[in-house]
Chains A and B, each alone.
Chain A
Amino acid sequence: GQNIDQPTEMTATEGAIVQINCTYQTSGFNGLFWYQQHAGEAPTFLSYNVLDGLEEKGHFSSFLSRSKGYSYLLLKELQMKDSASYLCAVRDGDYKLSFGAGTTVTVRA
């Protein structure tokens, strides 16, 4: 089966930077997604990486290393509204999308 690992929880201070790591072992690879999910709400899309390197989208950046089976999501200048769960998801060789358990980020004033 697919194996996607990410830390369970992270805490950071408002204005800081937080990096959420995701490692994966899948049968084939067709891209990695990051989603944000606030408590009681549906997940919303943040980023998609299929090639190695860094994708910058202002407040969020996402990095991928296919050879290492590794990605990270970087949240810059943290705001209280960034407190949420961040989900890493991978499309495998059969295009099946598998999600990690999610990382709960708590932003403190």
Chain B
Amino acid sequence: KAGVTQTPRYLIKTRGQQVTLSCSPISGHRSVSWYQQTPGQGLQFLFEYFSETQRNKGNFPGRFSGRQFSNSRSEMNVSTLELGDSALYLCASSETTSGEFVFYNEQFFGPGTRLTVL
């Protein structure tokens, strides 16, 4: 099976702009999570989606939003970019069992999108 793919891999934006990042999970995986990774803060949880529904949300401002489509692909959007949003954004997918959300399954991470805000 192909792994988790994320596009684009690198992105440069300026303050005030908005950005949309895309994630395609492993085929058959219906659970998708997003994380922000920075050297100072480590991996910070953004959202988790399952069957097009947001199951959980981290402590990020409303400028960060996401969605999941019926084919399990997911997008996250950041509006009004700030310098502090510069980070590696990682997407991860996990398997479901019998079509149900499973909290103990391992997450498979994509390579990430490196966002630089100037």
Contacts and interface: CB of A to CB of B under 8 A. Distances in A.
Interface of A: 1, 30-31, 33, 41-45, 48, 50, 87, 89, 91, 94-102
B109 interface: yes
Interface stretch (B14-22, B53-61, B63-71): B53-61
A33 B92 CA distance: 14
Interface band, chain B: 20 to 34
Nearest to A44: B109
A30 B104 contact: yes
Contacts of A99: 35, 42-45
Interface of B: 33, 35, 41-45, 48, 55-56, 58-59, 90, 101, 103-104, 106-112
Contacts of A96: 45, 48, 56, 58
B107 A45 contact: yes
B104 A48 contact: yes
Nearest to B4: A42
Given A89-B43, A94-B56, 12 more contacts: A42-B110, A42-B112, A48-B106, A91-B103, A95-B48, A95-B103, A96-B45, A97-B33, A98-B45, A99-B35, A99-B42, A99-B44
Nearest to B102: A95
Given A42-B90, A42-B111, A101-B42, A95 B56 contact: yes
